[in-house]
Chains A and B, each alone.
Chain A
């Protein structure tokens, strides 16, 4: 999100899900949409049936890649080189949108100088994608009147995630593919309320509506509203918190509805950090792997037992409605927080979540027009600044949130660790259709467990043959940080030299292998690239 904030001024999906079927070209990069966002995946297939052309950039031959007009099968982490080369073709072929660049952007000349060096042949050496395919993709994208880019964690879980996003933004600005229906840049949010959690200021540097903690006027506004002084220094991100806990700077943590002991990078660090705490409170619906480290565990209730709102990936605020009373002795998170605040001498007296939303609306500009009585229908897309505002289906119409769209030249940054003789393969991680995140919810469901009972590692037949591995063999996957044991799935659907492990499964947690190198701005971990080796399943080899 840090990338889009710099170039356009708003870190969110620019368009609506419905616009996917109205566009001419879809460029899906770093997203296995069919398995992570099934509804959007099916909309993309619908768009193809209506005549849209699909370009997919992914090291795996995903469901969508199989249906793509061009599949750019790139090495993980080389996205910026690929995108720069696409822009090289667009500039050299004269396919840029000159009017849009002149009227709505700044910094084009600097970008042009940088891009001229990014020939498709140079990108081919880095990405492993044929120069000719890069040319084809670039021409299809730039030739459309309306094109949409959809991206996900394959772009953002790298040590260069901000640059990757900026490169995509450059591509969009270069062709004027934004500010109209069916044209834009769409980060797909992986969890039902990531957009909402960000909008609400569950972030270390901003309060609700991305109002910056550093800004004294913002602090004054919130201090007055909340009746206490707001701390001045921006806080730590999740990976920085675990580092601080390991060093003994953070003494207590309150973890609500998250399972970092499976989901974070480089797990042995996270476990050490949690053990080092003086006091840990975990609030969840199940006794998670993280709860094992807690001093107090608080039973929260599920989505079905409470009222509230979720803001989906296309910025749509929708009502969550209570279907049943809280089960057993559980309580909704909002009530637990309120009671705890009161016990600590800070009364929070809300009769129900609609009153909380009214408070949010009163000093969050983008939610100014949101109230429960307006959410009975299909929901409202934010920004929605006042009561009569209909909501915003697509962003940046007429002008960007920051005024002009900004071109920022970026280059390819190699990953924080390299493959070598000892660790010759690239590991990339992700999800499968039948499970969700750390499996806390989905692994309780028999049908889903039958469909996908446990972990596996996907490996290309050529690599498998070299290593003497057959389909179904138990193997060890080992990185410089740890190793896991799991069955091999030999498949031509993954690029040679790359292996894939889903991160849902605690018994072979992919994140024991991953590296906790971070993007310097967005602090995203490099989960989509680490160097590994694979050994056929004898304990002896695995330990070597």
Chain B
């Protein structure tokens, strides 16, 4: 059974609608959406292959914590615990101006909003930006 999910291409800012073809939990194909889309059934070569990096074996699979010159795999509990503790200590010691946050133009709007909220409300800094200039 193939499931078809209409979503948005992850690359440039055109906002083309794409259909992801999902079979047994794996995306097997991308096709352009025809209805309710600005691309009206067309798609560039990157868009046609939009799903290809999703299942890449090179994806990050676990949180990683630095140990000397390499990294060791960690649980979410360990990794987030460590980040929370370090951020807390740096905030106590130097204040919010010691933080810099880079948000992402590839993350969703909801995520960008939360990253802004996290920076301002939790880290107490306005040092948040993303790559709009690149």
Contact = CB atoms under 8 A, between A and B. Distances in A.
B4 to A, nearest CB: 9
A5 interface: no
Interface residues of A, number: 143
B37 interface: yes
Contact of B14 (A233, A234, A313): A313
A203 B116 CA distance: 8
B52 A445 contact: yes
Interface string A169-210: 000000000000000000011111111111111111101100
A290 to B, nearest CB: 9
A538 interface: no
A194 B129 contact: no
Contacts of B36: 377-379
A249 B97 contact: yes
Contact of B109 (A226, A260, A317): A317
Given A296-B66, A434-B46, A156 B59 contact: no
Contacts of A91: none
A37 B120 CA distance: 33
B62 A231 contact: no
A523 interface: yes
B99 A250 contact: yes
Interface in B104-133: 104-118, 120-133
Given A199-B109, A251-B94, A256-B104, A338 B114 contact: yes
Nearest to B104: A257
Interface in A337-391: 337-341, 343-344, 346, 348, 353, 356-357, 359-360, 377-379
Interface string B50-72: 01111110111111111000010
Given A302-B53, A329-B63, A360 B98 contact: no
B115 A37 contact: no
B115 A256 contact: yes
A318 to B, nearest CB: 5
Nearest to B55: A327
A525 B133 contact: yes
Contacts of A203: 128-130, 132
A462 interface: no
Given A190-B12, A303-B10, A304-B7, A298 B79 contact: yes
A197 B103 contact: yes
Most buried by A among B7, B52, B82, B133: B133
Contacts of A327: 54-55, 59, 61
Contacts of A244: 100, 127
Interface in A314-350: 314, 316-325, 327-334, 336-341, 343-344, 346, 348
Nearest to A233: B126
A441 B133 CA distance: 20
Interface in B1-54: 3, 5-17, 20, 22, 25-27, 36-39, 42-47, 49, 51-54
Interface in B75-113: 76, 79-84, 86-88, 90, 94, 96-113
B110 A235 contact: no
Most buried by B among A153, A193, A348, A378: A193
Contact of A318 (B8, B64, B117): B8
Contacts of A433: 44-46
A356 B15 contact: no
Contact of A191 (B106, B120, B121): B106
B20 A304 contact: yes
Given A297-B64, A310-B109, A344-B122, A202 B130 contact: yes
Given A39-B16, A228-B121, A231-B120, A442 B98 contact: no
Contacts of A39: 14, 16, 38-39, 42-44
Nearest to B120: A230
A204 B128 contact: yes
A321 B79 contact: no
Interface in A433-459: 433-434, 436-437, 441-442, 444-445, 447-448, 451
B8 A252 contact: no
Contact of B106 (A229, A249, A257, A305): A257
Interface string A290-310: 010011111110111111111
A353 B132 contact: no
Contacts of B22: 323-324
Contacts of A309: 108-110
B37 A297 contact: no
A392 interface: no
A322 B5 contact: yes
A341 to B, nearest CB: 5
B8 A192 contact: yes
A316 B14 CA distance: 9
21 contacts: A38-B45, A191-B106, A192-B9, A193-B13, A193-B107, A193-B109, A196-B105, A197-B107, A198-B132, A201-B113, A202-B116, A237-B133, A241-B129, A253-B102, A302-B59, A308-B110, A309-B108, A310-B15, A327-B59, A333-B111, A378-B36
Interface of B: 3, 5-17, 20, 22, 25-27, 36-39, 42-47, 49, 51-56, 58-66, 71, 74, 76, 79-84, 86-88, 90, 94, 96-118, 120-134
Interface of A: 1, 17-18, 36-40, 42, 153, 156-157, 188-205, 207-208, 213, 222, 226-231, 233-239, 241, 244-245, 249-258, 260, 263-264, 278-279, 281, 284-287, 291, 294-300, 302-314, 316-325, 327-334, 336-341, 343-344, 346, 348, 353, 356-357, 359-360, 377-379, 433-434, 436-437, 441-442, 444-445, 447-448, 451, 522-525, 527
4 nearest A-B residue pairs (beta carbon): A312-B15, A308-B108, A257-B104, A235-B126
Given A250-B99, A278-B90, A337-B115, 13 more contacts: A191-B106, A196-B112, A231-B126, A253-B99, A255-B101, A306-B108, A310-B15, A313-B14, A314-B38, A324-B27, A327-B55, A340-B122, A348-B117
